[in-house]
């Protein structure tokens, strides 16, 4: 029986099937009201892991989550990401892992989320222009100050993960991964060996018509949607896998979460395993 929960960092228990808030509209009006409804419905259905980032609206997404859910129910983890800032020549977004930027974004996230500590803080990307030791050293300092509980990474290679683990304890990795796109399979394997949570972003594959047909065939057998099959495959793929599908619609949210109850046969699992597209 596949476990429906995972302990991030060995102690922070969450439901493995979470929610990615990136797609939620934050502008005032009906769209924002719909976003608030989706967030509240997710938590009502038992979601305990919600993913956001400073990049999503420059903090507007974090504020949306706080408006929807504060005061937070016990056991809810909102994880956010820092390290991308409007520091390009024309004020455009770029990777920015300078210590002052990371510290400022963490302080802003604490204020927007209305918390004293972010239980899981992820580095959105490694900034190639700032030494990794400086980037992670800053997060380590913030952890020592009690402002961060655990540190995660996003879009890293195995070598980068190994290097990072020489500096800090890494609790999670958030890389692109789905049934058709397994470029980061070696990173998933490394996370499994170390007991590190793996949060696949873009967990539902777009894919080619042939690959989609393979997913659709299994969906027909199971009596589920292709999206549900893609999520069920992820949950059965690895015990450290914590998918965070995002949507701005309540019906899609409910469809996604129902994937947790699906059980793929070994034959179905094998047929999906074979669908990986060449890089």
Summarised one tens digit per residue, pLDDT across range 109-128 is: 999 999 999 999 999 999 99
Select which of 56, 70, 72, 177 is catalytic: 56
Question: Which contiguous run of DSSP H or E holds residue 126?
Answer: none
Reply yes or no on whether the pLDDT at 10 is more than 60. Answer: yes
Helix crossing, 132-144 with 99-113: angle to 10°? 40
| Structural domains of the chain ordered from first start | 5-273 (3.20.20.100)
Q: Give mean pLDDT, residues 36-49.
A: 98
Which pLDDT tens digit goes with each residue over 45-71? 999 999 999 999 999 999 999 999 999
pTM of the predicted model, to two decimals? 0.96
Tell me whether residue 70 is one of the annotated catalytic residues: no
């Amino acid at each position: 029986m596949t476990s429906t929960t995972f302990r991030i960092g060995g102690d922070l228990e969450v439901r493995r099937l979470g929610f990615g808030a990136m797609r939620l509209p934050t502008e005032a009006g009906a769209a924002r009201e719909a976003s608030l409804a989706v967030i509240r419905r997710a938590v009502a259905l038992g979601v305990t892991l919600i993913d956001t980032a400073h990049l999503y609206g420059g903090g507007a997404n974090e504020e949306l989550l706080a408006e929807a859910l504060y005061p937070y129910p016990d056991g809810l983890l909102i994880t956010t990401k820092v390290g991308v800032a409007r520091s390009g020549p024309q004020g455009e977004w770029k990777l920015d892992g300078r210590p002052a930027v990371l510290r400022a974004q963490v302080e802003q996230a604490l204020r927007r989320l209305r918390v004293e500590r972010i239980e899981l803080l992820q580095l959105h990307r490694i900034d190639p222009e700032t030494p990794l030791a400086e980037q992670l050293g800053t997060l380590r300092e913030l952890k020592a100050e009690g402002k961060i509980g655990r540190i995660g990474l996003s879009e890293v290679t195995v070598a980068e993960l190994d290097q990072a683990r020489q500096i800090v304890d890494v609790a999670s990795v958030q890389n692109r991964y789905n049934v058709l796109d397994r470029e980061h399979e070696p990173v998933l394997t490394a996370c499994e060996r170390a007991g590190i949570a793996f949060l696949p972003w873009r967990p539902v594959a777009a894919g080619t018509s042939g690959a989609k047909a393979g997913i659709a065939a299994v969906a027909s057998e199971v009596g589920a949607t292709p999206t549900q099959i893609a999520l069920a495959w992820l949950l059965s793929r690895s015990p450290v896998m914590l998918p965070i599908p995002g949507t701005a619609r309540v019906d899609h949210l409910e469809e996604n979460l129902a994937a947790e109850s699906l059980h793929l046969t070994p034959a179905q699992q094998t047929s999906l395993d074979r669908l990986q597209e060449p890089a």
